[in-house]
């Protein structure tokens, strides 16, 4: 009902479009996608240099999501309600972006990464594969705001950043590292290391993190691999082998 879809947009087969949706000219939507009510898709931006917004097949864009021109996503993108994704965000397979999260411009994200609700990712951030960013995580790229200085955060594959944590400008979160809840990270976190506190300090290797009550140990693929599509399992196994080497 009353959706406004540009005739210049390229829309694949079996795409479901909800009510009151706006789809601009420079948009490509793959087959079997769902675009929920009140979504704004392909918002024009001079910073996109005229590039299309590309949404891969089998994606689910939930209601009130806003995605700017110039972003690209491979198949199975999922957004929560009221997500905002700015121009030049480039992501791999099966990215999930939770409700009320904001991804600013020029961000690179790998495959099978999970961004939960109310997460704010600053411009230029690089995020690897199979990363977990839990609710209300924030990154910053400006060491003396407001300024034109840009020192983006980097988060390597298999890392976990827990609820309410803040990653300060220029910090690097290593492969398979774990940032505990409500931490403020001002320095680089080594691969396979757990940090906690404000400022965050090393606590232990991630392989020493145990929940005795439920008899589970970190890293998370030891008990959570079954929550991922089978196509990701080979990648998960290879990363677990790498993490084992780093923490041995």
What order do you get walking across the sheet with 90-91 strand by strand?
A: 10-11, 27-29, 53-55, 72-73, 90-91, 108-109, 126-127, 154-155, 172-173
Residue 220 confidence (pLDDT) above 90: yes
pLDDT tens figures, 191-209:
999 999 999 999 999 999 9
pLDDT at residue 181, rounded to an integer: 97
Asked if residue 152 lies in contact with residue 107, where contact means CB atoms within 8 angstroms, the answer is: no
Which pLDDT does position 1 carry in this prediction? Answer: 64
Query: Helix (H, G, I), strand (E, B), or coil: what is residue 46?
Result: helix
As a whole number of angstroms, the distance between CA 123 and CA 140 comes to 8
Number of compact structural domains in the chain? 1
Looking at residue 130, its pLDDT comes to 98
**CB 149 within 8 Å of CB 131:** no
pLDDT at 230 over 70: yes
3-class secondary structure, 148: coil
| Structure confidence at residue 3 as a pLDDT band (50, 70, 90) | confident
CATH number at residue 119: 2.160.10.10
Query: If DSSP codes are grouped into helix, strand and coil, which group holds residue 84?
Result: strand
Long-range contacts of 123-128 (CB under 8 A, 24+ apart): 123/86, 123/150, 123/152, 124/150, 124/152, 125/152, 125/153, 125/154, 125/155, 126/152, 126/153, 126/154, 126/155, 127/154, 127/155, 128/155, 128/156, 128/157, 128/158, 128/159, 128/175
Average pLDDT of the segment spanning 163-188 = 98
Range of the domain at 123: 4-247
Q: Hey, is 140 helix, strand or coil?
A: coil
Residue percentage of the chain with pLDDT more than 70: 100
Tens of pLDDT along 24-33?
999 999 999 9
CB 178, CB 158: distance < 8 Å? no
Taking the C-alpha atoms of residue 93 and residue 76, their distance in angstroms, rounded to an integer, is 6
Classify strands 184-185 and 126-127 as parallel, antiparallel or unpaired: unpaired
How many CA atoms lie less than 13 Å away from 15 in the CB half-sphere? 21
Task: Choose among 153, 157, 148: nearest CA to 165.
Answer: 153
Contact 104, 123 (CB under 8 A): yes
**Chain-centre distance for alpha carbon 239:** 18
Mean pLDDT across the chain, nearest whole number? 97
Alpha carbon 57 to chain centroid, angstroms: 18
- Among 100-104, 199-203, 211-215, the least confident range: 211-215
Confidence of residue 218 (pLDDT cuts 50, 70, 90): very high
């Amino acid at each position: 009902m009353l959706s406004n879809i540009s005739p210049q947009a390229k829309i694949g087969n079996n795409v479901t479009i909800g009510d009151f949706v706006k789809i601009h000219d420079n948009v490509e939507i793959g087959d079997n996608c769902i675009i929920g009510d009140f979504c704004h898709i392909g918002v024009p931006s001079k910073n996109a240099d005229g590039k299309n917004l590309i949404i891969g097949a089998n994606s689910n864009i939930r209601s009130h999501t806003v995605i700017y021109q110039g972003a690209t996503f491979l198949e199975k993108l999922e957004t929560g309600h009221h997500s905002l994704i700015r121009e030049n965000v480039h992501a791999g397979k099966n990215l999930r972006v939770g409700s009320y999260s904001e991804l600013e411009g020029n961000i690179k994200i790998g495959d099978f990464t999970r961004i939960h609700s109310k997460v704010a990712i600053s411009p230029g951030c690089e995020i690897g594969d199979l990363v977990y960013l839990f609710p209300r995580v924030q990154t910053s790229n400006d060491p003396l705001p407001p300024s034109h200085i840009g020192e983006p955060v980097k988060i390597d594959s298999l890392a976990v950043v827990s609820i309410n944590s803040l990653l300060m400008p220029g910090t690097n979160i290593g492969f398979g590292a774990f940032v505990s809840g409500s931490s403020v990270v001002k320095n680089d976190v080594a691969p396979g290391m757990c940090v906690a506190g404000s400022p965050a300090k090393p606590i232990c290797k991630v392989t020493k993190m145990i929940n005795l009550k439920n008899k589970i140990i970190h890293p998370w693929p030891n008990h959570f691999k079954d929550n991922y599509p089978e196509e990701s399992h080979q990648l998960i196994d290879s990363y677990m082998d790498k993490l084992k080497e780093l923490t041995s």
